[in-house]
A and B are shown apart, each in its own frame.
Chain A
């Protein structure tokens, strides 16, 4: 689609992909948690790719056992690293769970309801369908999973630090 040729100077009014991908308040539509999920999915996806690069590089040190052990010791001593690990863990948990939902919706085309004849209060079927319930399930499971991951990462064990 080429932009039309015309003498009028048009104002470009696009917020751009960066803002659209991180600003949940760019458009304030009611009844739209899907958009928040989209933003989180994208942000967590990018976090995980960047981590993956680092991870492939760091794990190449495992070929030398002594160096790997000392590296892990150094690594575990820093709280900043632990927090970073915690964030990546949360990102993976959310991205994976929401990914299952997106897989069902985008690839298998399920959970988006059936076409309907519009009637008041005119809420689109896909915003009421199973995928919406899946959003709440994903949100709850992500928080629970993240807390468990936090306990594991910060204490080293799967027991409540009482």
Chain B
């Protein structure tokens, strides 16, 4: 059987993460803009230099973590919606759900690993 549980419980997060993303993604992009950047960069390239990136990781690790979780959830849930519109058999639905969960957990772990290594090494 195709899972017909109340899907608002999941889909509501698509919009809650969207609201969060406006804030954290906005911040993340502003880091690259000279004049706006909280890192105090003079050019786009400078914002990508290792010591600036290092500062960003150490100072704003919480924002980065929120960005990682929300962007991954929002993007993958969006992708899941598109894939559910592609085929509707129960096997396909199950496969999509598994792939999405695996991708979510996999990239989440990998991203947090990077953040953790930065915080751990001063």
A and B directly contacting (CB within 8 A): yes
**Chain A interfacial positions (CB closer than 8 Å to B):** 16-18, 21, 42, 45-46, 48-49, 52-53, 56-57, 59-60, 62-63, 65-66, 68-69, 72, 76, 92, 96, 99-100, 102-103, 106-107, 152-153, 156-158
Interface string of B14-53 (1 = CB under 8 A from A): 0100110110011001001111000000011100111101
B72 — which chain A residues lie within 8 A by C-beta? 52
Interface residues on B, range: 35 or more
Least distance between A4 CB and chain B CB atoms (Å)? 16
Are B18 and A99 in touch, CB under 8 angstroms? yes
Q: Is the interface of B mostly helix, strand, loop or mixed?
A: helix
Q: Contacts A46-B79, A63-B117, A103-B18 known; A69 to B49 CB distance under 8 Å? A: yes
Q: Which of B25, B54, B78, B85 contacts A92 (CB 8 A)?
A: B25
Q: Please, which residues of chain B bring their CB within 8 A of the CB of A62?
A: 50, 53-54, 57, 114, 118
Q: Are B54 and A158 in contact (CB under 8 A)?
A: no
Contact (Cβ within 8 A) A49 B78: yes
A76 to B47, CA, bound (A): 13
Let me know if B35 and A17 touch, CB within 8 A.
Answer: no
Nearest Cβ in chain B — how far from A11, in angstroms? 19
Find the residue from B35, B110, B121 having the highest chain A CB count within 10 A. B110
Give A96 to B78 CA distance when docked, in angstroms.
14
Quote the shortest CB–CB distance from A125 to chain B (angstroms): 23
Contact partners of B53 in chain A: CB under 8 A:
59, 62, 68
Contacts of A21 in B (CB 8 A): 82
